[in-house]
Structure 1
């Protein structure tokens, strides 16, 4: 009998479905309708591609007993990528022709020679494209005809009957079910009991190894224990470190030190790292979790634990590992906690919670029989139960459950490298748009913590996000976030235990992603000399401290890469050195790149790099030493994302920015040397991210504030700087800041004008934001008072954070007590404030939600007066900070019953003496 081969690993039907959709869009838009030789070929492609897609979709869900099929699948894969590239060649030509025509119709702001090089003339595309199209048409027809002689075509199904499968129905967005570790109560209590034991031998007895096979829920159990309320106040320090395959003692030590000090650490000396950690832990009781350890080399562990010996008795370390030898090395055989398979009575509730939102079948008794059989198929493994339950969520017909139960995957033993059948089913039952996005995550190494927003931008750059065939057109970012939530709700992603803003894949899920991605996606942690590279289109790798050209020598003939993505560890703050040969000789040859990241490489310029990268969508130059970008950036007509955050030496954006009409994200956060922006940015109406907007001076072609009226799609954070350059209030009026609905964080600053000038107050009065705002920062404001909108409770229904910094001429504070959900308030450098009184509160029941309040550098502040009858002010205040207010002598507000932290520095001794005894305090500094 032939070996069963699963087509799903080649991810072909999603690729061809995507290609069909793009072809319809491109031809429908008639981007090249003047080219009579090409258009008929495209129409023929439109006919053949859906047929091939339908056949592949069926084959993807059924094992094929024909090894010869593999060769044709390779051909199909290569053909799909080549067809997409050629389609984009025509789109590029059409866009350049349009820009050329627009430049001819009006005086260009670009030098003539630059415009000519970028956009050329309106001539037909390169004649070589015609030949390439004909070649692709021949390959497509040959593959289509050849399918009839292969098992792929022996389906006894009519393509017309399968057509409804070509576009999978997108699941509605669902809320995540509460992730409870059912069936582990006794395990949790047993380990908690050991944690709460005082004393312990710091040489060995303080280690608690949790050992068990993959998918048992070791990490989830440790996370629930780590966050259990019974441990609050029991330890001076807590830290969680994911160790994974590489037991890097220095990196683990650095991460623990950062958790303990709550500061980033750039120390390179391992001896200093250990010395600092030892000093921080000395005499303190700590709890440490080392998650997912594989390495059982005693020497490494012996070195790592040296600083722990300085801790106080009762300190504990939880270790999770699949390797029993690791547990025995750290604690001995009698100290290992063996996590077993779930008990039978816990399996059914865990499964039904995922599938039905309940812990039983009471509401759906018709599903109970088949459901119990499916639970048995999962062999008491929690990960299998959760993922299979997620597959069945929203499916309430017994026939749908029966189809899962009777799937051939359960009986096949040749479908992958140790992948659980339930996980394979969870992939097979994904809609095709989610299959593509999930497979892309094969670029992430095991235990890699990824950022949701960055992943969505990468999906977008690779063309993996598709509009629904009907309904209102959505922004691609919104589609990407929906995709992410769907994968998260199906338990294919999970929140990181170390950083709540990041996500990871379980080890077994990662194996599934690598398997289904096949050889298209390649992650390499070491040498590039791998046979897989011959077929790979997407490449990620762990960067080396010194990135030399020798490492890339095997790539010099591979010009078809779409992704060049170095992936740093979460807490790795180093800069990496990149060989000039890679930058100058190698990268420019990858002219099909969609994604290019040089994040944290120590480069100061990119000579000749962008001229060849005409397909590029995503460029990440964050945390490099780059000073400026070449004017050739303006020729990258597909560019969607440009990341320059942390480029502290960056001084200038190119004047050609206005040509980047597809640009959605321009991140220039933390670029202090950038002092001006070209006015052309105001033409980028598709911008979603513009972290900083610098108002230009009157002279030259710099950005005017009124340009914001064209950027109504902006979201997230926006800092508007150098408002001193607004010479006409009408510019502020025309900015229409209140029409930018997507802003969540707004900063307004740099408004200092002559002492007797009221311009600042007029400008700020017209910069009222939209009511969706969550955070407002006003700094270096030159007015004497704030406009009424700053404390408008009807406007700021969503505002939870406000900062007023260095507004030196303001003589009174706005009535911020009126804001209904304000939780954090920082007031700094308000030199003209002498008294804080009833005007600050606004009413008796003020500051009902405020949790953190800071006053800093209030040099002339003398008196703090509460309004009459306001004994219950600040009912939720947990943290109060007063720094460098030397003239403040009055009493602090009374009845601060919720206050936990008081921090008073640089104030008059009389104020310190007036402090009442607050029994609720857990932390104070005076």
Structure 2
């Protein structure tokens, strides 16, 4: 876990930087820029109240973007009495308080509930919304509750009270800043407790007061862990969240929590499962990563259950037949379990909105996919084990094309990568099965994993009535036999994100990827695609894209990983004019990278044939890792940050003397570090002395920063933990 600096130790922004950050949160058009610039005087006064703290400025920006760009609205924010409220702990912040008070009352409880989620665990957006529904925070027609929850979730993001995790797409996971979390927990302190088992006073807190919501996080086990008996006085609990270890004894049960609506326990003791039916009011049940193999038959008595997650319960194999009695179920998650079948009659659960990890098991003349047919309200569906379906007629019974609310679909087979026993009959059979799993036009997210057909499903091919016309995100993984990328995607009007991971049979990407049939000669391919990741195409050698072919006008991020691409296509430089971030990793044969005028950030990692990087006029950040042949770096006048990583590097590259980044971060051999440490008297001085800030490191064992040199030009300063006697021994 990263160490977090106290809030008052965070670097403060200068006035102009704070104003720019505030504007960035609010501006959405050129009109906004003009309007907001007219409010600069009052905006600077608001920024001043934020004391230069970046989080406070961002939160204020999130608040102001909910208002009209009127002087009177901003003046009300500036003059709000909350700025002078006393009594809050000093580490909390009035800007967060002001934003909280401005929240609609229906979202305040959702915000406070979010702050209880343990930092050690990741909670999907849909999991969090499920908790809100189970707690009764969302009010409206039953069919709209998930959509309402997403609206609230999005508003918390817009207000910068939570922030999307950049490692995940589509805002699936968010983080909450420690200051925001502390504020929310302070506000909810009379009703909710978020604790760690290692806290010395956690037991006394549990004894002193009864709470409605309790969240516990533990890394300890055995004698250092919290005893389950410590919780049993909390008989008013509506929400119990536990991540980590709690000491349990035979006979411990859940019967002490009669009011419980939401229960999330990771690594739950199997003995707890037997007492689940005691929860008459439970709506949300999550037993992730627990050693349970089944649910008890008595679960059918829990009439109010809406949400069940068994994600990561690897020993789980069987659902009880009584599951069909739970008519209020909205969500079932069997991901990463060993479930091998679905009870007959499952099709009566027509209230289901989301099913993850549904097993496609064939039993004689009956297939579990048939149970999906009547589930017309499904919005999210993941089917696994599709290699087990022996006839396409079984797949047709799932009736996916009739599920008009379906937005997210994942179709999964067991991976056949590297399987030399794959025969033609098997590939033809899986092709026919996938052809019958045609989604409805409502689909906007599609993931395909382990598909081993030679061609893509027919509904992914070009046609005038292509069912994927609303698709936004496509992810495909482990395509063992496909010889080309999907060629029906380039004209999809809303496609934003494309990721292909491990497709070893693709050797060439040609015109078919950029032009669909029928198409007008002036068609622009991939009009809205902003992110494309092509990874593990290990035999890919050629990408044909002429500079006059219009494509990818909105592409901002491109990742190429593990292929044999010998050159980038001319069209990339001439047509992808919005490209800001490019990452090229383990690409064999690529010698030069040049003339991408829009590029801001570039990563080149383990490209052992790369020799030249030239003419990137807007490049600001460059990372070079293990590219031993790179000798030419020029035409990068805007470069601000350069990172070089190669533990075997013994001299700085010659190009260092002709470029002028503001910052250099270097990971190199100990010998080179010693040469840098002697400054003017060393052979490397002329290559780095003009750079404002240099951080250079050498590895020892598992510590990549064991030895260091830190250098600044103005004022001159050089620090190192290498001893003079050691440096004098270096040649």
| 3-state secondary structure, aligned to 1:710 | coil
Match of 1:437 in 2: 110
1:360–1:385 distance in 2 versus 1, CA, 3 Å: farther
Residues 844, 870 of structure 1: 8 Å contact kept: no
Kindly state the Cα deviation for residue 522 of structure 1 after the two structures are TM-superposed.
Answer: 0.6
Residues 718, 743 of structure 1: 8 Å contact kept: no
Question: How far apart, CA to CA, are the structure 1 residues paired with 2:547 and 2:306?
Answer: 53
Per-residue CA distance 1:431-458 (angstroms, 9 max, x = gap): 1011111222342468987653432222
Would you say 1:551 and 2:551 are equivalent positions?
no
Residues 567, 592 of structure 2: 8 Å contact kept: no
Residues 707, 735 of structure 1: 8 Å contact kept: no
Which of 139, 145, 164 does residue 466 from structure 1 map onto? 139
Kindly state the Cα deviation for residue 566 of structure 1 after the two structures are TM-superposed.
Answer: 1.8
Match of 2:260 in 1: 593
Would you say 1:537 and 2:206 are equivalent positions?
no
1:564–1:547 distance in 2 versus 1, CA, 3 Å: farther
Kindly state the Cα deviation for residue 653 of structure 1 after the two structures are TM-superposed.
Answer: 0.9
1:535–1:442 distance in 2 versus 1, CA, 3 Å: farther
Residues 634, 656 of structure 1: 8 Å contact kept: yes
Question: How far apart, CA to CA, are the structure 2 residues paired with 1:686 and 1:814?
Answer: 39
Which of 705, 728, 736 does residue 369 from structure 2 map onto? 705
1:871–1:419 distance in 2 versus 1, CA, 3 Å: closer
Would you say 1:528 and 2:528 are equivalent positions?
no
Match of 2:184 in 1: 513
Per-residue CA distance 1:582-607 (angstroms, 9 max, x = gap): xx434222121112222134x34545
Residues 465, 476 of structure 1: 8 Å contact kept: yes
Name the one with the larger strand percent.
2
Kindly state the Cα deviation for residue 462 of structure 1 after the two structures are TM-superposed.
Answer: 1.5
Match of 1:616 in 2: 282
Per-residue CA distance 1:772-802 (angstroms, 9 max, x = gap): 3544436476x78665334336444546433
Residues 874, 896 of structure 1: 8 Å contact kept: no
Kindly state the Cα deviation for residue 924 of structure 1 after the two structures are TM-superposed.
Answer: 4.3
| 3-state secondary structure, aligned to 2:358 | strand
Kindly state the Cα deviation for residue 580 of structure 1 after the two structures are TM-superposed.
Answer: 2.9
Structure 2 segments unaligned to the other structure (5+ residues): 417-421, 517-524, 573-582, 594-603, 610-731
Per-residue CA distance 1:180-229 (angstroms, 9 max, x = gap): xxxxxxxxxxxxxxxxxxxxxxxxxxxxxxxxxxxxxxxxxxxxxxxxxx
Question: How far apart, CA to CA, are the structure 2 residues paired with 1:453 and 1:901?
Answer: 33
Question: How far apart, CA to CA, are the structure 2 residues paired with 1:796 and 1:592?
Answer: 45
Would you say 1:768 and 2:528 are equivalent positions?
no
Kindly state the Cα deviation for residue 519 of structure 1 after the two structures are TM-superposed.
Answer: 1.3
Kindly state the Cα deviation for residue 632 of structure 1 after the two structures are TM-superposed.
Answer: 1.3
Which of 396, 403, 407 does residue 739 from structure 1 map onto? 403
| 3-state secondary structure, aligned to 1:391 | helix
1:406–1:474 distance in 2 versus 1, CA, 3 Å: farther
> TM-score of the superposition, structure 2-length normalised?
0.62
1:531–1:879 distance in 2 versus 1, CA, 3 Å: closer
Would you say 1:690 and 2:450 are equivalent positions?
no
Question: How far apart, CA to CA, are the structure 2 residues paired with 1:705 and 1:644?
Answer: 20
Match of 2:248 in 1: 579
Question: How far apart, CA to CA, are the structure 1 residues paired with 2:208 and 2:34?
Answer: 53
Question: How far apart, CA to CA, are the structure 2 residues paired with 1:488 and 1:694?
Answer: 35
Match of 1:426 in 2: 99
Residues 62, 160 of structure 2: 8 Å contact kept: yes
Residues 634, 657 of structure 1: 8 Å contact kept: yes
Per-residue CA distance 1:149-168 (angstroms, 9 max, x = gap): xxxxxxxxxxxxxxxxxxxx
Per-residue CA distance 1:738-792 (angstroms, 9 max, x = gap): 63553444325479999599866554432222353544436476x7866533433
Residues 625, 648 of structure 1: 8 Å contact kept: yes
| 3-state secondary structure, aligned to 2:438 | coil
Kindly state the Cα deviation for residue 728 of structure 1 after the two structures are TM-superposed.
Answer: 7.3
Residues 653, 677 of structure 1: 8 Å contact kept: yes
Q: Looking at CA atoms only, which structure, 1 or 2, has the larger radius of gyration?
A: 1
| 3-state secondary structure, aligned to 1:528 | helix
1:776–1:534 distance in 2 versus 1, CA, 3 Å: closer
Question: How far apart, CA to CA, are the structure 1 residues paired with 2:128 and 2:279?
Answer: 21
1:322–1:660 distance in 2 versus 1, CA, 3 Å: same
Match of 2:299 in 1: 633
| 3-state secondary structure, aligned to 1:711 | coil
Would you say 1:363 and 2:40 are equivalent positions?
no
| 3-state secondary structure, aligned to 2:322 | helix
Would you say 1:243 and 2:21 are equivalent positions?
no
1:658–1:445 distance in 2 versus 1, CA, 3 Å: closer
Would you say 1:918 and 2:559 are equivalent positions?
no
Bigger RCO of structures 1 and 2 (CA < 8 A, at least 6 apart): 1
Which of 315, 329, 340 does residue 663 from structure 1 map onto? 329
Per-residue CA distance 1:217-265 (angstroms, 9 max, x = gap): xxxxxxxxxxxxxxxxxxxxxxxx6214xxxxxxxxxxxxxxxxxxxxx
Kindly state the Cα deviation for residue 616 of structure 1 after the two structures are TM-superposed.
Answer: 1.2
Question: How far apart, CA to CA, are the structure 1 residues paired with 2:15 and 2:547?
Answer: 58
Question: How far apart, CA to CA, are the structure 2 residues paired with 1:844 and 1:524?
Answer: 54
Kindly state the Cα deviation for residue 610 of structure 1 after the two structures are TM-superposed.
Answer: 0.9
CA-based RMSD:
4.8
Match of 2:475 in 1: 801
Match of 2:614 in 1: none
Kindly state the Cα deviation for residue 391 of structure 1 after the two structures are TM-superposed.
Answer: 3.4
Per-residue CA distance 1:628-675 (angstroms, 9 max, x = gap): 11111112222222111121111101111112222222111112x321
1:817–1:873 distance in 2 versus 1, CA, 3 Å: farther
Match of 2:163 in 1: 494
Which runs of structure 2 are paired with 1:132-531 in the superposition (5 Å)? 242-244=2-4, 292=5, 322=8, 339-340=11-12, 342-344=13-15, 350-351=21-22, 354=25, 363=35, 374=46, 377-392=49-64, 393-395=66-68, 400-401=73-74, 403-414=76-87, 419-444=92-117, 451-467=124-140, 475-495=144-164, 502-525=173-196, 526=199, 527-530=202-205
Question: How far apart, CA to CA, are the structure 1 residues paired with 2:569 and 2:36?
Answer: 52
Question: How far apart, CA to CA, are the structure 2 residues paired with 1:599 and 1:922?
Answer: 37
1:792–1:691 distance in 2 versus 1, CA, 3 Å: farther
Question: How far apart, CA to CA, are the structure 2 residues paired with 1:854 and 1:625?
Answer: 34
Question: How far apart, CA to CA, are the structure 1 residues paired with 2:125 and 2:321?
Answer: 32
Kindly state the Cα deviation for residue 696 of structure 1 after the two structures are TM-superposed.
Answer: 3.8
Question: How far apart, CA to CA, are the structure 2 residues paired with 1:431 and 1:756?
Answer: 56
Structure 1 segments unaligned to the other structure (5+ residues): 1-240, 245-291, 295-320, 324-337, 569-575, 883-890, 905-915
Match of 1:128 in 2: none
Judge which range, 893-902 or 584-593, deviates more: 893-902
Match of 1:721 in 2: 385
Count of matched residue positions in the alignment of Structure 1 and Structure 2: 547
Question: How far apart, CA to CA, are the structure 2 residues paired with 1:515 and 1:844?
Answer: 54
Question: How far apart, CA to CA, are the structure 2 residues paired with 1:762 and 1:377?
Answer: 64
1:789–1:490 distance in 2 versus 1, CA, 3 Å: closer
Residues 456, 480 of structure 1: 8 Å contact kept: yes
1:854–1:740 distance in 2 versus 1, CA, 3 Å: farther
Kindly state the Cα deviation for residue 536 of structure 1 after the two structures are TM-superposed.
Answer: 1.0
| 3-state secondary structure, aligned to 1:588 | coil
